[in-house]
Each structure stands twice: as C-alpha cells, then as structure tokens.
Amino acid sequence: MSENAKYEYKVVIYREALLGSIFLGGSRVNPVRYSEFLNNNAQEGWRVKTMEREIRREFIFFKREAFVTILERKIAS
C-alpha cells in the first residue's frame, strides 16, 4: 500500500428487524443475510476494517443482536 493512499470509511449498524425481538423476546443476526450485506459492500470496493457484536435493548424488555461494522475503501486518485 502506498503511503499516500487515501481512504474513506463507513460505519454501519447491522441488525435484524425488531419483529423477531417482539415475538421471541430476542433476535439474532441471520448469518446468510449478513454475508450478503458484506458481499454487496465488497462489490462496491468496501472491506471490513473492524466489527463488534453487541446486544441492543429495544423497548426495555426486548433484545436484539447487532454488529457495528466499520468499512474502509481506497479513494480513487
């Protein structure tokens, strides 16, 4: 990589719909849909720089899994 390379970043919070949390009390990220999300972004030149899994509370009683994903891509010169 060139020292003069410039990058741009995108922060995305990926989570499933709230409906699963309401009916099941909790919702997990679907790995197939998350893979599709990552592959779609990769086709646009984005790559995962870092990601973190977290459990988010919704309406006090419900929980759902989310991934905070930071994407990076090189800016064309």
- Looking at residue 30, the DSSP 8-state letter turns out to be -
Structural domain harbouring 30: 17-74
1 within domain boundaries: no
57 within domain boundaries: yes
53 within domain boundaries: yes
d(CA 72, CA 11): 9
- Looking at residue 65, the DSSP 8-state letter turns out to be E
61 within domain boundaries: yes
- Number of domains forming the structure of the chain: 1
**Who wins on pLDDT, 15 or 70?**
70
d(CA 3, CA 56): 38
For the whole prediction, is pTM greater than 0.75? no
In contact, 19 and 12? CB cutoff 8 Å: no
69 within domain boundaries: yes
Instruction: Render pLDDT for 24-57 as a digit per residue (tens, 0 to 9).
Output: 444 577 888 889 999 999 999 999 999 998 876 6
Percent of the chain clearing pLDDT 90 (strictly above): 44
3 within domain boundaries: no
12 within domain boundaries: no
Task: Evaluate if residue 62 carries a pLDDT over 60.
Answer: yes
